[in-house]
Amino acid sequence: MAVRYYVVREDLLPEAIVKTVAVKDMLKRGEAATVHEAVERADLSRSAFYKYKDGVYTLSELERGHIVTLSMDLEHRSGVLSNVLGLLARRGGNVLTINQSIPLQGLANAVISIDTAPLTGEMSELLEEIREQQGVRNASIIGQG
């Protein structure tokens, strides 16, 4: 299933989402030294902050681009990782890191961090294209920053 993104007016969002953005802003501006301090000031639980922090961004944050970390289970066959990297290159992706495990039972896990600023198209479309590559068993976003 592809990840879909929405632009939603702030007054329609649940309070925990709005407060999560406020906590992230406090931390970014240095108004709070720790997550604990920021969530207390925003009257938000730490668990709610950690639940939403990697999935909630202001529109201005998304426009600047950021780093996305992908995890993929790849068949242990020649060219599978190369094909994924070629796809990223064709879409303008800037690969920052690659880490691949030793293959076990014919599969290897590869974790790739990319700078999304130069990418063409939607991240959800790219993820779907990666999943459709021969030899890719699974692909998902595991982190954004």
**Which ranges constitute the DSSP H helices of 1-145?**
15-29, 35-42, 46-52, 59-64, 80-90, 123-132
**CB within 8 Å of 104: residues ≥ 6 apart:** none
Residue 81 CB neighbours (<10 A): 19
111 and 137 belong to one structural domain: yes
Whole-number Å distance between alpha carbons of 69 and 2:
16
Task: Quote the number of domains for the chain.
Answer: 2
One pLDDT digit (tens) per residue for the chain, 145 residues: 556 677 788 999 999 999 999 999 999 889 999 999 999 999 999 999 999 988 887 765 655 557 888 999 999 999 999 999 999 999 888 898 999 999 999 999 999 989 887 777 778 888 999 999 999 999 998 877 6
5: in domain? no
C-alpha–C-alpha distance, residues 103 and 2, integer Å:
26
Are 46 and 71 contained in the same domain? Answer: no
pTM, to two decimals: 0.56
Asked whether residue 44 is domain-assigned, the answer is: yes
CATH number (domain holding residue 75): 3.30.70.260
Domain membership of residue 54 (yes or no) is: yes
CA distances from 111 to 25, 74, 142 (A): 28, 10, 9
What are the phi and psi torsion angles at 55 (to 5°)? Answer: -125, 0
Structural domain of 32? 10-63
CA–CA separation, 139 and 145 (whole Å): 18
Between CA 47 and CA 103 the distance in angstroms is 35
Same structural domain, 73 and 59: no
